[in-house]
Amino acid sequence: MSEPFLLGVLGGMGPLATLDFQRQLLEATPAQSDQQQLPSVVWNVPQIADRQKALAGTGPSPLPQLIHGIRVLNQAGASHIAIPCNTAHHWYEALSEASAAPILHIVDATLAALEQEANTPQRVGIIATKGTLDAGWYQQKLAAQGIEVVEPTPEELTQWFVPGCYAVKRGALKEGGELLAQQALALFARGAQKLILACTEVPVALQAVDAPFLHLTFDPAQALAERCSQLWQAN
C-alpha cells in the first residue's frame, strides 16, 4: 500500500498567488466528489521577507522563514511540497536539505509540460523577476530543448515588470495587468511566439485585464498544480 498523500504548499508569496494555486489544484484534479479532491495543507504566511529585495541586496534573506514554513509542513505530515513562487526557488537546495518530504521544482514541472505541447515554439519569452532571470533556470532548460529565449530588458523590468508586480501585491490588479501586458507585448514584438509567465502574480494580473494573448502564455503554477494532481491520482 502506498504512503498517504498530503500536499504541502509553501505559499504567501504572495497570498493571492497562493489562493490562485489552490484553485488550479482543484481544476487540475478530475474529481467527481469532495473525497476525490487532492488533500493539501497550506502555509500561506505573507510575512516572509521580500524575495526580490533580498536578491537585490536591499532586504533581509527570506531563508529562515522559508525553512520554518517547510518544517511546519513536514510536521503537518506533508508527503510532497510545492512552492508556487518562482523566485523562492533560489533557495531550493537549502529548503530541500531541510525537508523530509521531496519538494517539487516549478521549473521542472513547466518544462515537462512544455515538452507535451503539440507545436513546440522556437522562441519563448520569459516574464519573471530579475532574480529568476539571473538564476537562468528557464533559459538553461529551454536552450537544452533548442528553444531560443527572449528576455525583458533592464529598462522594461524597471518600467513595467516591477511596478506591475507590486501593483498586484497591493490589490491593484488592473493597474498591474496593464503594466505587465506592456511587458508581454514588448517580448512578442521581439519575436517571442509564447510566453512563460514565470512570476505567480503575472497570470492573475493579465486575467484581470482580459489580455487577448493569454492563449499564447504558459503558467508555471498551473504546470506545478497539474504535476501535483498527477502524483495524487497515481497514489
* Residue 3 scores a pLDDT above 80: no
Question: Would you say residue 184 lies in a domain?
Answer: yes
Q: At 78, which CATH number?
A: 3.40.50.1860
Q: Given 28, 85, 106, 107, which residue is catalytic?
A: 85
Cell of 37: 479532491
Domain enclosing residue 28, as ranges: 7-105+222-234
Position with higher pLDDT, 9 vs 117: 9
* Residue 10 scores a pLDDT above 80: yes
Strands in 77-122 per DSSP E? 80-82
Question: Would you say residue 36 lies in a domain?
Answer: yes
Verify that 57 and 127 share a domain, yes or no.
no
**Residue 2 is which amino acid?**
S
74-123 pLDDT, tens digit each? 999 999 999 999 999 999 999 999 999 999 999 999 999 888 887 889 99
Verify that 205 and 230 share a domain, yes or no.
no
Verify that 143 and 209 share a domain, yes or no.
yes
Question: Would you say residue 74 lies in a domain?
Answer: yes
Whether the link from the prior residue into 14 is cis, omega within 30° of 0, is: yes
Verify that 141 and 207 share a domain, yes or no.
yes
Give the pLDDT score at 119: 85
Q: Given 6, 42, 199, 224, which residue is catalytic?
A: 199
Question: Would you say residue 45 lies in a domain?
Answer: yes
Give the pLDDT score at 1: 35
pTM, two decimals, is 0.94
Verify that 54 and 138 share a domain, yes or no.
no
Give the pLDDT score at 173: 96
Mean pLDDT of the 38-66 span: 96
Mean pLDDT of the 42-59 span: 95
Whether the CB-CB separation of 220 and 202 falls below 8 Å is answered with no
Give the pLDDT score at 200: 92
**Active site (annotated) includes residue 199:** yes
Verify that 25 and 72 share a domain, yes or no.
yes
Backbone angles phi, psi at 15, to 5 degrees: -65, -35
HSE toward the beta carbon, residue 31, CA cutoff 13 A = 15
164-195 pLDDT, tens digit each? 999 999 999 999 999 999 999 999 999 999 99
Q: pLDDT category, 148, cuts 50, 70, 90?
A: very high
Tally Cβ neighbours within 10 Å of residue 146. 8
Give the pLDDT score at 209: 98
Verify that 151 and 49 share a domain, yes or no.
no
123-135 pLDDT, tens digit each? 999 999 999 999 9
Question: Would you say residue 2 lies in a domain?
Answer: no
Verify that 139 and 92 share a domain, yes or no.
no
Number of domains in the chain: 2
Verify that 155 and 229 share a domain, yes or no.
no
**Active site (annotated) includes residue 228:** no
